[in-house]
Amino acid sequence: MTSRPTVAIFDYGIGNLRSAQKALEFAGAEAILTNDKSILKESDGVVLPGVGAFGRCAEALVETELFSIAASMAEEAASGAKPFLGICIGMQLLYNGSDESVGTKGLGVINEQVRAIEGDVKIPQMQWNKLKCNFKHPMLKGIEEDPWVYFVHSYSAPITEESVAFCDYGSDLNAAIAINNLWATQFHPEKSGKTGMRLLKNFLSLLRSNQE
Amino acid sequence: MRVVRIIPCLDVDEGRVVKGINFVDLRDAGDPVELASVYNDQGADEIVFLDITASSDSRETLHEVVRRTAEEIFIPFTVGGGIRSVEDARQILRLGADKISLNTAAVIRPDLITDVANEFGKQCVVVAIDARRSDKTICGFEVFTHGGREATGLSLLAWVREVVGKGAGEILLTSMDRDGTKDGFDIEMLKAVSQEVSVPLIASGGAGNLKDMVDGALSGNADALLAASIFHFGELTVSEVKKELLKAGLAVRGA
């Protein structure tokens, strides 16, 4: 493998994917926006971004016929195959569903439901927040002691044993999960300055080690 | 925990930052790309670019500046000025911006807010509002467009409710009475708007010193504080502002 791993970003007609692409390029990847299944399969790793509503993202995956491949690639990553990174709604999509869009199915990799943020706080959480995290996890290796990252969300996945980072907003929220090579963040690493850039570089390291 | 954001604003004309021209040290660094990078290093939480160029020929210049800036900063980056359609928005986002700011075009056609929100998500849509005190509206504040040149007769609070209903993810509220005066933010106006709607509120216009910044967040209940000249003229740095907010008991990122 070349020193610049290839990252394929699911381009399923949702939102603005350029930010994620340029941040991955800056981190050292060859980043491609694509809806081509063979490119997704041939890449060294994939990123599933997502903004807006859960239901619209899930439907867009179905419409672009990328739902099944996203589900299987996420499942496989969780068993140690090609690394997969979900960002924001791309993390929430890994769950069975969301209270935001009742009746719409998620990818169902994690058997839980995404729920509305509760407490006396403004919705959405649209701000930087500090992570409380497991600094030893490969996702968070080398990040600053005070890791500030940028969040934009109104719903949140429950905290489970897969959680590796949390943030305090009304209560503790699940900020990131990792199951083997399946990583996902509720925050936006591509907009989170140095901390986010470190995380993306860690993801590229995972791609490289996965090839060895 | 609410974490107050500090947002330097670059008013860009023909590819140059215009408010900084009297500040000697910045004269040579009047390139918006370089300034954005300086603010990024100072710990700015976000950068806002407002294109104030009148001629449409300069869109190309703006696009180039947006593209170059987006390649260097990895914090949220909002671009406004002259965005009149979903296609205009798409173009700016493709260059690497994260959010679109709508102002006059939203007043002319409020459904533009919905169209952009449906296409890119509410988090992507900032509605910028220029308002001043006026006895022509019930709430005592009137909305202006076209860079503050045209009165609309719209009541600020009615307009705020409408834009949130249409899908605005944030409101960037500029007090025309205070803009450039350094008399502090219009606290009363900020309070009125923050009580009216729950989307994040960015305060703009009038910040002249550290106390003004604290007042904007504490008394005005703003979620973010935007300023231009005090940063461009080197009177305050982003980190000085953050330290002061911290002292006042507010949470900020990385002070």
Contacts of B199 in chain A (CB under 8 A): 122
Helix residue ranges, H only, A18-145: 18-27, 37-42, 54-63, 67-78, 89-92
B interface mutation test: which of A128, A171, A173, A187 has the most B CBs within 10 A? A128
Q: Which residue of B has its CA nearest to A23?
A: B74
Kindly report the CATH number assigned to the domain that includes residue A40: 3.40.50.880
Rounded to an integer, the average pLDDT of A108-113 is: 98
**Distance from A180 to chain B by nearest Cα, in Å?**
27
Q: Output the pLDDT for position A8.
A: 98
CA distance A172 to chain B (A): 10
Q: Which residues contact B166 (CB under 8 A, 6 or more apart)?
A: B106, B110, B111, B113, B114, B117
Q: What is the pLDDT of residue A94?
A: 98
Please state the domain extents for chain B: 5-247
The answer to whether residue A33 is domain-embedded is yes
Question: Are the Cβ atoms of A191 and B45 closer than 8 angstroms?
Answer: no
Q: 219-238 in B: which are within 8 Å (CB) of A?
A: 223
Q: Which of A124, A129, A150 sits opposite B76 (nearest CB)?
A: A150
pLDDT at B22: 36
The verdict on residue A146 lying in a domain is yes
Which positions of chain B have pLDDT values less than 70? 19-29, 54-58, 255
> Which pLDDT does position B53 carry in this prediction?
74
pLDDT, position B13:
82
- Residue positions of A annotated with a catalytic role: 88, 188, 190
Look at residues B255, B210, B212 and name the one whose alpha carbon lies nearest to residue B236.
B210
Domain that holds residue A24: 6-211
Q: Is the pLDDT score of A193 beyond 80?
A: yes
Residue A62 in domain: yes
State the pairing for strand pair A171-179/A30-34: unpaired
Reduced to 3 states (helix: H, G, I; strand: E, B; else coil), residue A209 is helix
B5, B121, B198 member nearest A127 (Cβ): B5
pLDDT confidence of residue B21: 37
Q: Tell me what the pLDDT averaged over chain A comes to.
A: 94
Percent of chain A predicted with pLDDT > 70: 99
**pLDDT tens-digit map of A47-103:** 999 988 899 999 999 999 999 999 999 999 999 999 999 999 999 999 999 999 999
CA angle B137, B142, B146 (to 5 degrees): 145
A127 contacts B254? CB cut-off 8 A: no
Check residue B30 and give its pLDDT. 77
- Measured between beta carbons, the chain B residues lying within 8 angstroms of A166 are none
For residue B54, the model assigns a pLDDT of 59
pLDDT computed for residue B57 by the predictor? 63
A38 assigned to some structural domain: yes
Question: Looking at the complex, does the CB of residue A129 fall below 8 Å from at least one CB of chain B?
Answer: yes
> Structurally, how many domains does chain A consist of?
1
Domain B5-247 belongs to what topology? TIM Barrel (3.20.20)
Residue A1 falls inside a structural domain: no
Kindly report whether the global pTM for this prediction surpasses the value 0.95. Answer: no
pLDDT in tens, A161-177: 999 999 999 999 999 99
Please give the ipTM for the structure prediction: 0.87
Interchain proximity B122–A18, CB inside 8 Å: no
